Structure 1
Amino acid sequence: MQSSTSQSHSSAEIDIQALVRSVWKRKWVVIGVALVSTLLAAAYAFTAKPIYEAKLFLIPPTQNDIANFNYGRTRDYDLVPLTIKDIYTVFLRILDSESLHREFFNTVYLPSLTEEVRKGSRDALYSRFSKALTVTLPVRDAGDQSAVTVQTTNPELASNWVQLYADRAGVLTKEEIVKNVTTESRVRARNLLQQIKSLRETATQIRQDSITKLQEALRVAEAIGLEKPPIITGNPSVELAGSMDGQIIYMRGSKALKAEIQNLEQRQSDDPFVMNLRELQSKHDFFKNLDVSPSDVWVYRQDGDVNRPDAPIKPKKSLIITLGMILGLMAGVLIAVILYLTNDARIKRAI
């Protein structure tokens, strides 16, 4: 048993040695395959179109940037001011929205392609575009910085696209917020107008009620022949009964009652006599005419400038050539081993 085992080990050692010698004899095959693989890798590295990357970093706006959004939004007007977080959250949602991706794909990316390429599958083109333009949103507990990245064969196009994409997201964000603020202002104005109308109608009804009361008091005064209010003499003061209300309004006398009725009937407007009306009118006019200009606000800030990339990120020539050489050596050795095994099997069959 020991003799058999030792023979087996000896045979394995001889086989390995023979394999190494066989590979060494075919070293030119290995070198040739490695050389061809390296040349192919080099050809690809030097002929493949270079890919350039442009990246734009974005951060939240300042309080001053969004100040005009909050014009008129105070506690006195029952409107909660918008915060930086409110504005930036809307911007990030639009920045990473599918609708903006599709709009940019249709209006910017497709026109940059040749007519022949545009005839291809839209889904395939959109998939390629989605890989070329990516949006990185802020990570929780890692700051508020977001980024837009574009990878393309044209360095100038890459830098232009990241700026254009961020600008378009900013424009859409402004439009949405301005629309929301304007709508809220219009609703507030309508509510105030309804309150004004209600107060005016109430004032008109109160005036009519007053006229009715005075007319009844006039009939009583005329019935008792009271033309002027009586002067009540007392000790130690003298009072005039012209301030009497309630059931003794007739004590003012028919002459005063007629004058008051005439005055109420000829009154053109009850507005001066309505409490808080002028304040409501002022608020209504403010909200009705409130106009927020998108040019006066910013919904994000750029963290640095967008520079034209001057060095491609792909292909990495040295890495590709090195991998080509390594794979060629491995393939050459594998071919040499296969030739050895094939030759060895042929010899065994011949024996």
Structure 2
Amino acid sequence: MDFHLQFPVMPLPQPIQYDQKILMAGSCFAEEVGAMLQSGRFDVMLNPNGILFNPLSIVKSVNQYLDQRTYTEADLFQHNGAWHSYDHHSRFSGTDKEAVLAQINASQAAAAKQLKEADWLIITLGSAFGYTLKEGGQLVGNCHKMPQQQFNKKLHSAEEIITAIDNMMHRLFFANRKVKIIFTVSPVRYVRDGVVENNLSKAILLQAVHHLVNKFDRLYYFPAYELVIDDLRDYRFYKEDMVHPNAQAVQYVWEKFAGACLHQQAQATLKLVEDVSRARRHRPIIEDSEQHRQFLAGYAQKVRTLMEQHPYLDLKEELQYFSRG
């Protein structure tokens, strides 16, 4: 007897391989899956602007990478003793203005380089709601807990989202002729907008994404949203806030992603990398025992072999850790 609805996830015709470069942008759920790829030692740059939720802010960030945009003091504002950028997550904020700008511009430069060389751009859309400053009309990626009355809130239409992404893609494909795009819609439920409003927002995102994927080659859709909402479909797969998928749900989606989006050879290599990662987390009962020294030496050799067989794998930290024995 089945207690939940399972559905097949269509594999990519040309799956992701280990020697390829990835740029990921979007919501907090992108951070979860992106962290899995980083842990597996894929060459992935994750959210160069920090977490972004609405499609127009994500599009703006990608266009700025293409423009190789440099931020200046005029792009920052001060609030509660810290400097912020409306285009960036609060992880970039700080009390030292010059340090904030340096961090932002270093991330911008790294993102511009990664995007120019990327084989994959993975975009996770969170919400169709966007915010603009009432004074000046600037699109805001993060409100930084500024007073709500300073912003206009808008539910973007599918047509607006399609047009914005379409224009960005034309620029991107001209700059990088090999890059392919995977779209996902975040299963995080933005109930602060309202339950009905959240569902409307997700429907708009799904409509826009499927229009684009059905219209263009090199675009693909991975059903992270449907895997949580329709497959798992149970509050036991959410955190205590009943909004964010919990670790079990993230792991379930990750396994589906790996099976559908990673090349079979990459999946096999990933298992070896995961074994090395588990071994690194191992804590011995007796640190200086002969048994533990043999354990370290054995895994040091495994890491060397992996690096020889897959020279694009960055396992220097792991090799240093196991070589200490």
| TM-score, length of structure 1 as denominator length | 0.19
Q: Which has the higher strand share?
A: 2
Q: Which has the higher contact order (CA 8 A, sep 6+)?
A: 1
Q: Which has the higher helix share?
A: 1
| TM-score, length of structure 2 as denominator length | 0.20
- Greater Rg by CA: 1
